[in-house]
Amino acid sequence: MSFWLSNFIRLHLTTPWPILIYAFTWTTLLTLTVLAATLSLQVAFISAITPSSSFSQKCNNVGSIRMPLDFPGDTLCFPAPLFMKSKVDLIVPPVFAAVIVAASAFMVRAVGLFDRDQTP
């Protein structure tokens, strides 16, 4: 804990305030972007499973699951055994999250947030 605190104090005393403000600003913007992307998916899912949604109506075939297509009114019914939980479901979300975090870090680096002006 003291190592983290000493690094924070050293960073605070040696780093000019504008860089810290830039870092805070970009961190906030990236957090809000991830929040908006996550909430939009949850809102879409909740609206799809509401009882008034055409998506949540049952298929005519027993043991089938209704899947939407690109156009709002079109749906297909698939057999329920096709939609089973697999072991890949445990691996894909963390890998996807790591790729997104790495891409956002490279984006911040590409923008050049931490490049200092070398002009005298």
Q: What is the pLDDT of residues 57-78, one digit of tens each?
A: 777 778 887 777 767 667 788 8
pLDDT at residue 117 greater than cutoff 60: no
Is 60 found in the same domain as 28? no
pLDDT for residue 56 is more than 80: no
64 and 39 within one domain: no
- Residues 56 and 29 both lie in one domain: no
Looking at the fold, whether 34 and 59 belong to one and the same domain comes out as no
Q: Is residue 119 part of a domain?
A: no
The DSSP output letter for 65 is: E
| pLDDT digits 0-9 by tens, 17-36 | 677 777 788 888 888 888 88
Q: 3 and 35, same structural domain? A: yes
In a domain, 59, yes or no: yes
99 lies in which domain range? Answer: 87-114
End-to-end CA distance of the chain: 38
In the chain, how many domains are there?
Answer: 3
**In the prediction, which pLDDT does 103 show?**
87
Whether 28 is covered by a domain: the verdict is yes
Q: Is residue 40 located within the same domain as residue 67?
A: no
* pLDDT tens figures, 71-111: 766 778 888 888 777 788 788 888 888 888 888 888 877 77
Cα angle 100, 104, 105; round to 5: 115
Q: How many helices (H) and strands (E) does the chain have?
A: 3, 2
pLDDT for the residue numbered 40: 86
Whether 2 and 38 map to the same domain: the answer is yes
Kindly state whether residues 79 and 108 are assigned to the same domain.
Answer: no
DSSP summary character for residue 78: E
Average pLDDT for the chain? 75
Same structural domain for residues 40 and 54? Answer: no
Mean pLDDT throughout 42-67? 75
In a domain, 120, yes or no: no
